[in-house]
Structure 1
Amino acid sequence: MQEKTSDRVVVITGASSGIGRAAAQLFAATGASVVLAARGREKLEEVADEVRRAGGVPLVVPTDVRSEDEVKALARSALKQFGRIDVWVNNAAVSLFARTEDAPYEAYKQVIETNLFGCIHGARAVIPCFRGQGYGVLINVGSVAGIYGQAYTSAYCVTKFGIRGLGESLRQELLDTPDIHVCTLMPATIDTPIFQHAANYTGRAVQPMPPVIDTYRVAHAMVSLAERPRRELIIGWAAKLLAVQHKFAPGMTERQIARMVEDKHLQERPAPLSPGNLFQSMPELSGVSGGWKHDGTQGRRKRLPAAMAVAVPTAAAVAAMAAVVLFLRR
């Protein structure tokens, strides 16, 4: 495999906003050719201009990842234009806030078809290409919501747990081709427009649960995985602590996360019921940032108590569990 991303051909789904848009810019800055996929052409053309300005070569291919035929056509377009695919990023995702029994069935189904089947379609489209080449990197964008669940987002969590399992299965199937890598990227709360895009049937406005991570931090991690593949990568220190806590004390962690969702994810102000972008794209909200993260001192002060609310009980629980393990090993 090539050791650098320069001159690589990178396919990114969900490239019109958020992490996908940021990653397109960063891959382009390395000199890569970037194939941009999402439902809407207009915003993809904007990203294509950003790719050109950053030094990359763009190819716009409007694609609905819910359709396996369209995803296969995306792979064929990349191969026809550039002759190979070095990196494929399954990034397209939507979200839904609702109690499981209250969510409209079709809305719930759309989350699964976009997030989970979108990754499956991507894998099925690109792995034959990777096998023919003898190399390639597949990056599936999961979430820490694939390690521990959370209230009101069961559809999203189901897909992210599934994506993690998909990665494990694919790695086993590809043991005969050691230069094909499957990576699962699992970020915590990211400053993207997904919260404005999300379907919402709770009756309450939603917001990201702090601490909120800058989008480009995740995009940099994605570029790093393309250069130095890893099985799984968690982004966010609070999420890493919660993952360890969940391993040793799942019941306590579930109760803690449930309280966090009620207090920090759902706001007190009401919001109308909405399907968000589940059934059609929302081009008016297509930036890299969702505007949730503020770099000013006031913003940091506001986030600090919320971050500590996650960190203090989690760190204490992890320390307690570590002490128990050390005691039992004596």
Structure 2
Amino acid sequence: MTTARIALVTGAASGIGAAVATRLAADGASVALLARRRDRLEKVAAEIAEAGGTALVVPADVTSEESVAAAAAHVQSQFGDVDLLVNNAGLMHVEPFADGPIDAWRRTVDVNLTGVINVTHAFLPALRRSAAARTTDLINVSSLAGEHINPGMAVYGASKAAVSHLTRTLRAELAGDGIRVTDLEPGMIDGTELADSFPPELQAAVDDLRATLPAVPVTEVADLIAYVAGRPRNVNLPHLIIQPSKEV
């Protein structure tokens, strides 16, 4: 049960992040919505408020240490200590490694990995204070691409593999503080924007694959995260995979 939790969700402007924020707010959590696009965040916040929930719009760039520090200070001033952090912000650039522009690879690593590092480090003091008195969770959304070999996804997969390894190590470091740490690896998910920048021929193939599987709706990912956060304080689910039944 997530009632009375104080949550921060990154990448909350759309897709998994928006679904997670909406579900947590519906369960009674006060949710800080962090992403770059203020207009999209305000839309999600308005929908949460209309449903009777509490949401705070926090425009920030996870790749900027200064931007994230300012976001942490703002959330602290409005909500107090966060006790549920969901690192979800991410992007996917698919292209053969030899052809891919270095700038695109750098941006992928900056958002997918450095963003998790920046946000976690900025909010860790609040998580530690929360853990002294109540259930506290750090949930990092990685990807099955970090385990599987997918041509064209070398850098994306590497960034997600790094997130999973970081998460496992953080669990070892933070267990003594009472902070539960979970690595969540989604497979093919429907309702995200990750594939929106794919070349047309690849987009068509992805659409066909989603129809064949079919893909898991983002609401199922949100339900799973709510379930993780709702376990008794002495129970941790360290590593979870969610994927279509037909995906291998």
Provide TM-score, normalisation by structure 2.
0.89
| 1:122 match | 119
Partner of 2:152: 152
Please give the alpha-carbon distance, in whole angstroms, between the structure 2 residues aligned to 1:235 and 1:92: 17
Q: What's 2:102 paired with?
A: 105
Query: Mean Cα displacement is larger for which, 165-174 or 128-137?
Result: 128-137
Which of 227, 230, 247 aligns to 2:230? It is 227
Instruction: Give, in angstroms, the shift of residue 87 of structure 1.
Output: 0.5
Over alpha carbons, which structure has the higher Rg? 1
Q: Measure, in 2, the Cα distance between the counterparts of 1:31 and 1:175.
A: 26
Q: CA deviation at 1:216?
A: 0.4
- Could you tell me how far 1:205 is from its partner in structure 2? 3.2
Query: What SS does the aligned partner of 1:114 have?
Result: helix
| Partner in structure 2 of residue 17 of structure 1 | 14
Q: Once the two structures are superposed, what CA deviation does each residue of 1:191-236 show, in whole Å capped at 9, x if it has no partner?
A: 1242443355xx7332254421111001111111111241011002
Q: What residue number does 1:254 align with?
A: none
Q: Summarize deviations over 1:135-187 as a string: whole Å, max 9, x none.
A: 5211100111122221111121011100100011101111322x201111111
Q: How does 1:82-97 map to 2 (within 5 A)?
A: 82-97=79-94
Distance in 2 (CA, whole Å) between partners of 1:125 and 1:90 is 12
Kept after mapping to 2: 8 A contact 1:34/1:51: no
Runs (4+) off by over 6 Å = none
2:11 is equivalent to residue 5 of structure 1: no
Distance 2:13 2:244 in 1: 27
Q: Is the 8 A contact 2:5 2:84 kept in 1?
A: yes
State the superposition RMSD in angstroms.
Answer: 1.7
Q: Distance in 2 between matches of 1:199 and 1:125?
A: 32
Aligned mates of 2:168, 2:91 — CA distance in 1? 23
Cα distance in 2 for residues equivalent to 1:134 and 1:195: 33
Find the counterpart in structure 2 of residue 161 from structure 1: 161
Counterpart amino acid of residue 40 in structure 1: R
User: Aligned runs of 1:37-48 on 2, under 5 Å?
Assistant: 37-48=34-45
The CA distance in 1 between the partners of 2:194 and 2:63, in whole Å, is: 20
The CA deviation at 1:61 is 0.8
Please list every run of 5 or more consecutive structure 2 residues that lacks an aligned counterpart in the other structure.
Answer: none
Deviation at 1:132, TM superposition (A): 2.6
Q: Quick one: which amino acid aligns to residue 63 of structure 1?
A: A
Paired with 1:134 and 1:190, the residues of 2 have a C-alpha distance of 31
Q: Map of 1:277-292 to 2, 5 A cutoff?
A: none
Aligned-residue identity in percent: 36
Question: Secondary structure of the residue that 1:175 maps to in structure 2?
Answer: helix
Count how many residue pairs are aligned between Structure 1 and Structure 2: 235
Q: Distance in 2 between matches of 1:193 and 1:227?
A: 24
* Letter of the structure 2 residue corresponding to residue 222 of structure 1: I
What is the TM-score with the length of structure 1 in the denominator? 0.68
Q: Is the 8 A contact 1:167 1:183 kept in 2?
A: yes
Instruction: Check if 1:190 corresponds to 2:186.
Output: no
- Indicate if the aligned counterparts of 2:83 and 2:130 stay in contact, CA closer than 8 A: no
Deviation at 1:68, TM superposition (A): 1.6
**1:24 partner letter:** A
Q: Does the CA-based 8 Å contact 1:37-1:60 persist in structure 2?
A: yes
1:49 aligns to what?
A: 46
Secondary structure of 1:174's counterpart equals: helix
Q: Secondary structure at the match of 2:9?
A: strand
How far off its partner does 1:56 sit?
1.6
Q: CA deviation at 1:90?
A: 0.5
